[in-house]
Structure 1
Amino acid sequence: MESTISSPISSTKSSPLLHSGSHSLGSRSQSFPSLPSLPSVQTLRYPSFKSRSFLGFPFRSRQNQPIRSQSSNHQPVNDGFVLEDVPHLTNFLPNLPSYPNPLKQSQAYAVVKQTFVSPDDVVAQKVVVQREGPRGVHFRRAGPREKVYFKSDEVRACIVTCGGLCPGINTVIREIVCGLNYMYGVEDILGIEGGYRGFYSKNTLRLTPKVVNDIHKRGGTFLRTSRGGHDTNKIVDNIQDRGINQVYIIGGDGTQRGADLIYKEVEKRGLQVAVAGIPKTIDNDIAVIDKSFGFDTAVEEAQRAINAAHVEAESVDNGVGIVKLMGRYSGFIALNATLASRDVDCCLIPESPFYLEGRGGLFEFVEERLKENGHVVIVLAEGAGQEYISGEMNAVDVKDASGNKLLLDVGLWLTQKIKDHFTKVQKTAINMKYIDPTYMIRAIPSNASDNIYCTLLAQSAVHGAMAGFSGFTVGPVNSRHAYIPIARVTETQNTVKLTDRMWARLLASTNQPSFLEYSEGQGQAKEDVDVINNNMRATL
């Protein structure tokens, strides 16, 4: 039977977000009646994640956790409001005591008008909704809460970094340490070295603000990293043995799946351990959040490579510059770097199929640009065209320790294809310049924009863990930081949608072909092209 408990995130005031009036959206001069006063106490219910429906209750959580307010003269309206809530330690530790937040005595927050986030504050996943449509999915707003569920002197926190490198990792590490120490007075902070393996290999480092003071000026990860090595039972055994009660996990979708398993095992054992994920991927392929940290730095640094390719190509006759950028399954870096540069003639990404020969193909486009401008610059994501290379080379799928498919070098493949076409078919001499800056970009420190972003991510994660939330990840949703269930950001990947306006803007900027023409030589099915065309027309 579902039990009702006093909410750890309840407030003395109830928000109008809990109710939706049936006011019509008529003329601007229409006055809206004020909401009636609401009672002072709310209750929350904490069962497990179940519901995925947008309709049914006006305020429904995918954790099936309706936040109920009662009012004698105001009835809830079915407006399709869905709260995708994050787990809380009191879900399985109902008698867990709470304490006043130390930020009440913080000099930093002394001048803040509203120190604590209201428990009723939520962030909408979609900003644009239809007048008569459902309000849609919302997430809890990130930030400090009035009550915390850890005493500062009893906290033993740890930080671990996993997966590939990305600009900004060291900034996140630094700000978690400084946030815990400066805001909450936590002094016992461990760094787990070498990724998930470090938990049971007993590689640890004592972290203090002094130790991490200038690590944000360096690339890579101060704690070192690795792929794979996730053993849930060993990791949680070690967490339990060391008396760790806050775990901060920095990594991509595979790492976050591991974090979700750690949280579930912690819950199963009934441990007072908060598990917080900070999503990391330079490709920007994490779902739900606006963007991942390090992405802005990657796009900015990619400009150097594109500019070099452009200078090389335009300085010779029939110059062709090719730049390969990161993007295993998502072409966001290539897309944004192309839009920022204005020197790129063609951008190829994993989401958009392309072909080489025939009408509307890449070879034809390169020929035209060489005739018009005397040079051409192509930017491609590392995951583009993999199906063509694999087919030609009869490649066998091989995966790394994180489970990612090892990609073939599409840059070298395309460089050779263009060379062969012009020298053997067109009998034309061309000057090829191929630049692969991927590891250079991954290894640099984050820029100013990402440094600020990493600070917000780290502090939001610290506030969430201290407030007793667990099994969550943090990130901006429509520019507002929110707490998101880990499972939500790992269930799918963020990819460039060819039917969205962003891709249309790129096509308009480069004037490149859409590669939607049927090419019999490449065996591209016409029905697939028609589907893409129909989808694009549907969004106009």
Structure 2
Amino acid sequence: MAVPDLTVKRLGEATIDSPLSGVKFIPENSSVIYGKDADEVIREYNENGRLSAFEQAGPREKIYHDPAWTHAAILTAGGLCPGLNDVIKGLTRTLMVRYNVPIVFGIRYGYQGLIPSFGYEPMLLTPDSVDGIHEIGGTVLGSSRGRQDEVTMVETLKRMNIKILFCIGGDGTLRCAHDIAMEVERRGLNISVVCIPKTIDNDINFIDKTFGFETAVYATNSVISSAHNEAKGTPHGVGLIHVMGRDSGFIAAYATLANTHVNYCLVPEDAFSLYEGEHALLPSLERRLRERKHAVIIVSEGAGQHLFEEESSRRDKSGNVLHHNIGEFLHEKIVAWGKEINLDLSVKYFDPSYLIRSLPAHGTDAVFCEMLAQHAVHAAMAGRTDVVIGHWNDRFTHVPIPVATSSRKKIDINSSLWDSVKSVTWKCYR
């Protein structure tokens, strides 16, 4: 696959001495190689005489924005995700404590908060006001979906004298942030637009992980154990778990490896059938139930959409397709199959989706949120714009927003990850 242009936009030359002390500044030419396979790296260099690389994130010795005259704003958009409040706190503290930025606004209810007609007054954020928000789930700023007019939003930023806008969200949020950055550029304004990638599905491209994902996987553990207990508590018991994963099955795959009570892992990337063929679910399930007496199934929300008679025509306010409910569909099909083959089934259905996404961040996920926030502030103060903070090869990176939104990251079914999932699930289902 050809690597797109990874050059990050800058508002101008950084000429102001950073107020940070006691830190290791990142040189302006520091980069993180894109390639992870040695043979591919060598081949690219031999063919092009250079290597594709991300700009490395981190504090710079010279910054663009004068902290004393800088007003910043933070918004959260899209669905909830563990860690949103951690990022808000990290941004606020880094701006005000480390860089001495005097004013940080919290924009209410996503991009709607930048449209005056909605009537949402911004919040004034301070280190004291955000002190305990990391302990609660959701977002203290509120969120919304849907595109808003970038001309009106930039007018609002200009009126509020905002020099830095931080947008925390997924694919739709990033696209809207890009529209704002383009309008800012068209007007010749010096406003940095920096994004922190938020998606519980871990499906943003050119970024190896996003915050909230680890907490989501951790939170599935008790649900899987409960489904397993329910399934084993009766002959021919089935525990069926429906988790998020609109286009990518990373939550289901990692949850399966984290709690190996799961016998079937169904994801959008690996098509399956119900009755016939090598990947037929129900005949395999029958074999397992007759032999082992119980089974646990985890399914991503985007899996098995080809099994429905019609494609879904519904979309959310962000333009994402609202899939048919594969969990409820499988529940009905499994119950009906049991009657057809004269097997008395007990199917228990679990859907922890909203419980999982509204939790506070857990453990090292919270650490990751704080580090993302710090690197976002460093990037913004150095004058980077139209950029999202990424993570690649164990380094934090700057990724141009158009690159990050160019496609969705998906499970490679020929990868070691999927091999590991298959190795811990039911032997007949291959």
TM-score category of the 2 structures, normalised to the smaller one: over 0.9
Match of 1:227 among 117, 122, 145: 145
The within-5 A match list for 1:36-55 is none
Taking the aligned partners of 1:179 and 1:370, their CA distance within structure 2 comes to 55
Amino acid at match of 2:36: V
- Assess if the C-alpha contact under 8 Å between 2:312 and 2:323 holds in 1: no
Counterpart position of 1:447: 362
Say whether 1:404 aligns with 2:320. Answer: yes
Superposition deviation, residue 129 in structure 1: 2.1
Q: CA deviation at 1:479?
A: 1.3
Matches within 5 A, 1:233-382: 233-360=151-278, 361-382=280-301
2:33, 2:53 within 8 Å by CA — same for their partners in 1? yes
- Answer whether contact 1:365 1:512 (CA < 8 A) is retained: no
The one-letter amino acid paired with 1:144 is P
Aligned with 1:214 (options 132, 136, 154): 132
Aligned amino acid, residue 330 of structure 1:
S
Query: C-alpha distance in 2, partners of 1:208/1:502?
Result: 42
* Aligned counterpart, 1:464: 379
1:152 aligns to 2:67 (yes or no): yes
| Corresponding residue SS for 1:285 | coil
1:489 to 388, 404, 409: 404
Q: 1:512 to 1:487 in 2, by over 3 A?
A: farther
Query: Are the aligned partners of 2:85 and 2:136 in contact in 1 as well (CA < 8 Å)?
Result: yes
**What value does the CA root-mean-square deviation take over the aligned residues?**
1.6
Q: Of the two, which has the highest radius of gyration?
A: 1
Query: What SS does the aligned partner of 1:321 have?
Result: strand
Are the counterparts in 1 of residues 57 and 397 from structure 2 also a CA contact under 8 Å? yes
Q: Describe the SS at the equivalent of 1:454.
A: helix
SS of residue matched to 2:258? helix
Q: Matches of 1:127 and 1:416 in 2, distance apart?
A: 44
Q: Which residue of structure 1 lines up, in the alignment, with residue 8 of structure 2?
A: 86
Separation in 1 of the partners of 2:170 and 2:284?
A: 36
Which AA in structure 2 matches 1:457?
Answer: L
Dislocated runs of 4+, deviation >6 Å: none
Q: Given residue 314 of structure 2, which amino acid in structure 1 is its aligned partner?
A: V
The question of whether the paired residues in 1 share the 8 Å contact of 2:14 and 2:383 is answered with no
Q: What is the match of residue 14 of structure 1?
A: none
- Structure number with the bigger relative contact order (C-alpha 8 A, sep ≥ 6) is 2
Q: Is the 8 A contact 2:312 2:321 kept in 1?
A: no
Q: 1:231 to 1:301 in 2, by over 3 A?
A: same
User: Contact between 2:83 and 2:365, CA under 8 Å: does it hold in 1?
Assistant: yes
In 2, Cα distance between equivalents of 1:453 and 1:220: 17
Shift of 1:290: 1.0
**1:127 Cα deviation after fit:** 2.4
Question: Does the 8 A contact of 1:507 with 1:513 survive in 2?
Answer: no
Partner Cα separation in structure 1 for residue 169 and residue 42 of structure 2: 39
Note closer, same or farther for the CA distance 1:396–1:362 as it changes in structure 2 (3 Å cut).
Answer: closer
Unaligned runs of 5+ in 2: 46-50
Closer/same/farther in 2, CA of residues 122 and 396 from structure 1, 3 Å limit: closer
Q: Is the 8 A contact 2:204 2:405 kept in 1?
A: yes
Among 35, 54, 79, the residue aligned to 1:126: 35
Aligned residue type for 1:122 = S
- Which of 338, 341, 345 is the aligned partner of 1:422? 338
Alignment partner of 1:179 is 2:94: yes
1:512 and 1:331 map into 2 onto residues whose CA distance is 20
The one-letter amino acid paired with 2:271 is: P
User: Equivalents in 1 of 2:428, 2:193: separation in Å?
Assistant: 47
SS in 2 for 1:328: coil
1:120 shift after superposition: 2.1
The answer on whether the counterparts of 1:149 and 1:466 sit within 8 Å (CA) in structure 2 is: yes
CA 1:132–1:212: 2 relative to 1, 3 Å: closer
Tell me the amino acid that sits aligned with residue 422 of structure 1: G
CA pair 320-97 structure 1, distance change in 2 beyond 3 A = closer
Are the structure 2 counterparts of residues 374 and 53 from structure 1 closer, same or farther at C-alpha, using a change threshold of 3 Å? closer
Query: Is the CA contact 1:287–1:489 (under 8 Å) kept in the aligned structure 2?
Result: yes
1:198 to 96, 113, 121: 113
The whole-number CA distance in structure 2 between the counterparts of 1:467 and 1:222 is: 27
Output one character per residue of 1:36-69: Cα deviation in whole Å (capped at 9) or x when no partner.
xxxxxxxxxxxxxxxx977xxxxxx93xxxxxxx
Alpha-carbon distance between aligned partners in 2 of 1:229 and 1:125, rounded to the nearest angstrom: 31
Assess, with a 3 A threshold, how the Cα gap between structure 1 residues 397 and 156 changes in structure 2: closer, same or farther: same
User: In the alignment, which residue of structure 1 is the partner of 2:48?
Assistant: none
Q: Which amino acid aligns with 2:161?
A: G
C-alpha distance in structure 2 between counterparts of 1:162 and 1:272, whole Å = 23
Structure 2 counterpart of 1:181, which letter?
Answer: M
Partner of 1:520: none
After superposition, the C-alpha distances for 1:470-515 in whole angstroms (9 at most, x for unaligned) are: 1110021111001110111000000011121211111112145566
> Which residue pairs with 2:19 in the alignment?
102
Take 1:87 and 1:405, find their aligned partners in 2: how far apart are those partners?
31
Partners of 2:145 and 2:277 in 1: CA distance: 43
Counterpart amino acid of residue 343 in structure 1? H
Q: Give the TM-score normalised by structure 2.
A: 0.95
Partner letter of residue 26 of structure 2? V
TM-score, normalised relative to structure 1: 0.76
What's the CA shift string for 1:145-201, capped at 9, x where partnerless? 010111111010000100000000000000000000111011200000011010123
